[in-house]
Amino acid sequence: MARIFTLNVPFEGKERPVLVNMNAHGYDMAVQVHYLDRDLYTLLPEGNLVFSLTEGLKQPTQLVNEMAIKLVDNTIDALSAFFSRGK
Protein backbone atom coordinates (compact mmCIF):
# COMPACT_ATOMS: atom_id res chain seq x y z
CA MET A 1 0.00 0.00 0.00
CA ALA A 2 1.37 3.41 -0.95
CA ARG A 3 -0.03 6.78 -0.01
CA ILE A 4 1.17 10.17 -1.23
CA PHE A 5 -0.12 13.47 0.11
CA THR A 6 0.91 17.04 0.84
CA LEU A 7 1.07 18.66 4.22
CA ASN A 8 2.09 22.03 5.66
CA VAL A 9 4.68 22.09 8.43
CA PRO A 10 4.95 25.23 10.58
CA PHE A 11 8.57 26.38 10.84
CA GLU A 12 10.14 29.76 11.52
CA GLY A 13 6.82 31.59 11.28
CA LYS A 14 5.82 30.09 7.91
CA GLU A 15 3.82 27.11 6.72
CA ARG A 16 6.31 24.97 4.77
CA PRO A 17 4.83 22.57 2.19
CA VAL A 18 6.02 18.97 2.19
CA LEU A 19 5.27 15.94 0.05
CA VAL A 20 4.80 12.76 2.09
CA ASN A 21 5.23 9.30 0.55
CA MET A 22 4.25 6.34 2.74
CA ASN A 23 4.81 2.71 1.75
CA ALA A 24 3.82 -0.38 3.70
CA HIS A 25 6.39 -3.15 3.81
CA GLY A 26 4.83 -6.06 5.68
CA TYR A 27 4.46 -4.90 9.27
CA ASP A 28 6.64 -1.85 8.71
CA MET A 29 5.83 1.55 7.23
CA ALA A 30 8.48 3.58 5.39
CA VAL A 31 7.91 7.30 5.25
CA GLN A 32 9.73 9.84 3.08
CA VAL A 33 9.11 13.53 3.64
CA HIS A 34 10.33 15.83 0.88
CA TYR A 35 10.47 19.52 1.78
CA LEU A 36 9.37 21.62 -1.19
CA ASP A 37 10.89 24.81 0.24
CA ARG A 38 14.48 24.87 -1.01
CA ASP A 39 15.50 27.18 1.85
CA LEU A 40 15.32 24.13 4.12
CA TYR A 41 17.87 22.14 2.10
CA THR A 42 20.67 23.60 4.21
CA LEU A 43 19.14 21.88 7.25
CA LEU A 44 18.43 18.48 5.71
CA PRO A 45 20.34 16.82 2.85
CA GLU A 46 18.44 17.28 -0.42
CA GLY A 47 15.38 18.36 1.55
CA ASN A 48 14.46 14.80 2.53
CA LEU A 49 13.62 13.11 5.80
CA VAL A 50 13.35 9.31 5.70
CA PHE A 51 12.23 7.01 8.51
CA SER A 52 10.43 3.76 9.18
CA LEU A 53 8.35 2.56 12.10
CA THR A 54 10.76 -0.25 12.96
CA GLU A 55 14.12 1.40 12.17
CA GLY A 56 13.38 5.00 13.10
CA LEU A 57 15.14 7.88 11.37
CA LYS A 58 17.21 6.61 8.44
CA GLN A 59 18.70 9.89 7.24
CA PRO A 60 20.20 12.15 8.18
CA THR A 61 21.92 9.96 10.74
CA GLN A 62 22.97 13.01 12.68
CA LEU A 63 21.04 16.25 12.57
CA VAL A 64 23.24 19.24 11.84
CA ASN A 65 21.98 21.74 14.43
CA GLU A 66 19.11 22.81 16.64
CA MET A 67 17.23 24.28 13.67
CA ALA A 68 17.24 20.88 11.94
CA ILE A 69 16.05 19.21 15.15
CA LYS A 70 13.22 21.76 15.43
CA LEU A 71 12.24 21.17 11.78
CA VAL A 72 12.09 17.40 12.35
CA ASP A 73 10.09 17.86 15.57
CA ASN A 74 7.62 20.16 13.81
CA THR A 75 7.30 17.67 10.95
CA ILE A 76 6.55 14.84 13.36
CA ASP A 77 3.95 17.01 15.12
CA ALA A 78 2.30 17.90 11.79
CA LEU A 79 2.20 14.24 10.73
CA SER A 80 0.76 13.22 14.11
CA ALA A 81 -1.94 15.90 13.86
CA PHE A 82 -2.73 14.82 10.30
CA PHE A 83 -3.27 11.21 11.30
CA SER A 84 -5.16 12.04 14.49
CA ARG A 85 -7.72 13.87 12.30
CA GLY A 86 -8.28 10.56 10.52
CA LYS A 87 -7.17 11.69 7.06
pTM of this structure: 0.81
Backbone angle region of 58, left / alpha / beta, with phi > 0 → left and psi within -120 to 50 → alpha: alpha
Q: In whole angstroms, what is the distance from residue 34 CA to residue 16 CA?
A: 11
pLDDT in tens, 25-42: 888 888 899 999 988 888
Number of domains in the chain: 1
Comparing CA positions, the residue from 22, 21, 68 lying closest to residue 41 is 68
Q: Which domain holds residue 26?
A: 2-84
- Residue 46 dihedral angles phi and psi, to the nearest 5°: 55, 15
Least confident range of 4-13, 27-36, 53-62? 53-62
> What separation in angstroms does the CA of 71 have from each of 28, 78, 80?
24, 10, 14
